[in-house]
Structure 1
Amino acid sequence: MPDGVSVVRARLACMGRIDGLQALVSEVRAGSRIKYLHFWGHRPRPDGSIGASCLSQWWPSPFVVADRRYATAEHWMMAAKARLFGDAEAERHVLAAAHPAQAKKAGRLVRGFDEAIWERERFRIVVEGSVHKFAADPALGAFLLKTGERVLVEASPVDRVWGIGLAADDEAASDPERWQGLNLLGFALMEARAELAGQQIRRGPDTAGG
């Protein structure tokens, strides 16, 4: 792509505007034209190509950090949760889990859990894991960067923390003032996207295309 650094820099400028639900609602009220990308589920497309489902925490995307292997971003989140509260046994169970659902279950059993501490740290943890996930796989990283300035929306009708509490086909799914959830995963992915775009700029034009 010609002048890839300029393209990424332009994207990065757009990405910096919206860092949470309150900022998004403010942009909407100010009349900004917002583009959304809804996702839910972790299955690949029928032809095997990468689609929006790769944004899921459960998408199979192994990466290694500090000699630990994480099978998915969900494994990262739950292992980090265990570390946060000093439960080494729970961390081992998470890392050994064969499926993200099992990792999630192990994460729910962390000893010494404190909700207030978790609420303070969880967003940072998921941003960090997302950076590792998408940096480890060039195809995934390229997909994330190509979402440009779109607001990423986990259209989960059952998750009011990481998702919006609505399905993608709900008429309110593109109206953040009517969302039933915080969309923390979507905003964390946007933070990771901005970080990866910044890394490309620092590396130079040979890697900044997309």
Structure 2
Amino acid sequence: MASCFGAKPESEEDEIQDLPDDRDKYEYFWKARSPFSQWHPSKFVVDGKTYNCAEQYMMYHKALVMKNDELAEVIMALDNPQEIKDVGRSIPDIDAELWNHKSFEVVEAGNMAKFSQNEDLKQKLLHTYPRTLVEASPHDTIWGIGLGQRDKRAWNKMSWRGQNRLGEILTRVRDKLMGSFLEPANPDEIENPDEPINQSEEENPVESTNRSKTKDSDGPVDQNEIAKQDKSVVNGSEKENPDETVVNGSENKTVVNGHDEDNPDEPAVYQRKTEIPDEPVNRFEKANPDEPGNRSKTENPNESGNRYDKENPVESINGSETENMKKETIV
């Protein structure tokens, strides 16, 4: 018989079956055997005090928040996690609202010290990434989920009975410890990261480096070094323009036939660069009537002949004829 008040509401079990199974997203733990438990033996030091487990750190600071120094010292003298927890619960005049606010900070600081000072525990915590840690305690609905790991309701957070405070804090501690491995490089170590890149230097960084070195040099400039900066020079000629005049040593020469890149053993042929005067001048005419002989002859009187005699034997005068001309003039 159908109910006149509408359809029968679905049972809690039916609602659970409709939820997805998210067990692969969680890292379940419980009891002291787990390294993530507050009761797990682990020595660490904070402000000169040595703690034997995270539960001792938590209850000691709980007593300090409630300004009960006497019970705080009792807690520090105990080794058994269960006894430590019992003393912490026996603190009189508990300000629940104050402890509810402070407890997150206290538990996170204690676990940060625990896992950062114990490398083996730290590695186990880091290996839980990226899953969320879950305290599957069937009895604790504040720090745990109030359900055991095998309970289907524990497989999706929408059906948890507890807040899982400890699991959320441990997940945050893990992510903070992992942050040291994921931090980007220090921008101060990068030289001028915002400075635009010179396009010419980007295309040929070796060329720009040679150019900058020659520009900044305070000493004498090597002619060969200059030739290497912008273009490769083969025996005084540039690869791109073999007919272009290149400074080589102290003479200015025009390359007629430079070295071929495919045949580097072929010698280059040069021709002396001469200036063409506006009017033809007899090369043996005296530039100064008071100056005897040809200028080239005066500069080196002992030199026999002229290096251009072979080019024009008619106009050339050898050294002996010049001596006879001088004698006739004296007579």
Unmatched runs of 5 consecutive residues or more in structure 1:
1-28, 44-52, 205-210
Which fold has the larger relative contact order, with Cα–Cα distance below 8 Å and residues 6 or more apart in sequence?
1
The residue aligned with 1:75 is: 56
The residue aligned with 1:175 is: 156
Aligned pairs (5 A) from 1:1-210:
35-43=25-33, 53-201=34-182
Distance 2:184 2:143 in 1: 31
Greater Cα offset, 68-77 or 112-121 = 112-121
Greater Rg by CA? 2
1:169 CA displacement: 0.2
| TM-score, structure 1 as length reference | 0.74
- CA 1:67–1:160 in structure 2 vs 1: closer, same or farther (change >3 Å)? same
User: Are the equivalent residues in 2 in contact too, given 1:163–1:183 (CA < 8 A)?
Assistant: yes
Q: What letter matches 2:32 in structure 1?
A: H
Unmatched runs of 5 consecutive residues or more in structure 2:
1-18, 186-331
User: Are the equivalent residues in 2 in contact too, given 1:154–1:164 (CA < 8 A)?
Assistant: yes
> SS of the counterpart of 2:123?
helix
1:189 CA displacement: 0.3
Instruction: Note the aligned Cα RMSD (angstroms).
Output: 2.0
Distance 2:183 2:72 in 1: 34
> SS of the counterpart of 1:64?
strand
Distance 1:77 1:198 in 2: 25
Question: What is the aligned length?
Answer: 165
1:41 CA displacement: 1.3
Specify which structure has the higher proportion of helix: 1
Distance 2:168 2:149 in 1: 16
1:34 CA displacement: 6.3
1:111 CA displacement: 3.7
